[in-house]
Amino acid sequence: MRRADREAVSALLGRGVHVTLCTGRMFSGTQPLALELGLDAPVACVDGSHVAHARTGARLACAGLAHEAIRAFCEVLERHEAAPFALSDELLFHDDAGHAHLDYMRLWSRQTHVVGDLLVSDVWHRGRTVPAMLGLATEDRIRAAEEALLEKSELLQTIVFESQSEFEDGTRPWALLVRAAGIDKGTGLEWLAAHYGVSLDEVIAVGDWLNDVPMLERAGLSFAMAQAPREVQSAAKVVLDSDHETGGAIAEVARRAGLL
């Protein structure tokens, strides 16, 4: 995070403004930044599926995929020959097909665990809460897998996007991410607002990717970063001048919102 943003967060905290994170990353990947920013607060991770205290790590809320949803997703990934990954208890589970994509997938968690029969066995997730699973394959296979899961919409929700990993030929795989139905960054934002005893109209949010859309739609004042996809910009009330190259988004938001 750029110096201007760190200074903005520090100034906001100094003024008594509640600042927190709502991210797609697991808690283990979120905590270092939260502590660097001086946050002593709940943070919403895995797109709102897991809320934990930034300093202590105490679990405050967690929503996982039902066993039937995991089974359905695994069957679809096996049928469409997609490399499977699962997020649970700060671990990134994968099988042999996932090795080629670990550099990219470690964005979620650097703690990995190989499961030889991930798609056919339930032993690896027995007794665990699994907030999210993901498959990587060519775009046509991922689109077909998403279509096959439409009939399971009461159990899970899907999001499809082009990943930043690479196949051996240099092309990029597409990703199919699933979470429990009804859980997203928007519900994470609702949990955080209730925790602080404020209405959603009083909440200010900033985001730059597709998983931010539910959060941006619910917040009273929402900002999209300049490089955000069009769907994300459309969900926000304001599009920032700042982007991921220049930094300064939080500082710009604080100024535009009249907080600094």
- Specify whether the CB–CB gap between 26 and 109 falls below 8 A: yes
Which residue, 229, 192, 187, is CA-closest to 207?
Answer: 229
For residue 42, the Cα-to-chain-centroid distance in whole angstroms is 15
Cα distance between residue 75 and residue 177, in whole Å: 15
Cα distance between residue 47 and residue 214, in whole Å: 10
Mean model confidence pLDDT for the chain:
95
* Average pLDDT estimate for 56-64: 94
Q: Is the pLDDT of residue 218 over 90?
A: yes
In three-state secondary structure terms, 78 is helix
Residue 224's pLDDT is 98
Which residue, 166, 175, 32, is CA-closest to 103?
Answer: 166
Q: Is the pLDDT of residue 108 over 90?
A: no
Laid out side by side, the sheet with 238-239 consists of 204-207, 221-224, 238-239
Q: Is the pLDDT of residue 110 over 90?
A: no
Cα distance between residue 187 and residue 192, in whole Å: 9
- Specify whether the CB–CB gap between 174 and 136 falls below 8 A: yes
* Average pLDDT estimate for 99-103: 95
Q: What is the pLDDT of residues 16-48, one digit of tens each?
A: 999 999 999 999 889 999 999 999 999 999 999
Cα distance between residue 197 and residue 250, in whole Å: 23
Q: Is the pLDDT of residue 107 over 90?
A: no
Q: What is the pLDDT of residues 63-94, one digit of tens each?
A: 999 999 999 999 999 999 999 999 998 999 99
Residue 109's pLDDT is 86
Q: Does pTM surpass 0.75? A: yes
| Domains of the chain with CATH codes | 3-63+184-256 (3.40.50.1000), 67-180 (3.30.1240.10)
- Specify whether the CB–CB gap between 92 and 111 falls below 8 A: yes
Q: What is the pLDDT of residues 116-150, one digit of tens each?
A: 999 999 999 999 999 999 999 999 999 999 999 99
Residue 2's pLDDT is 85
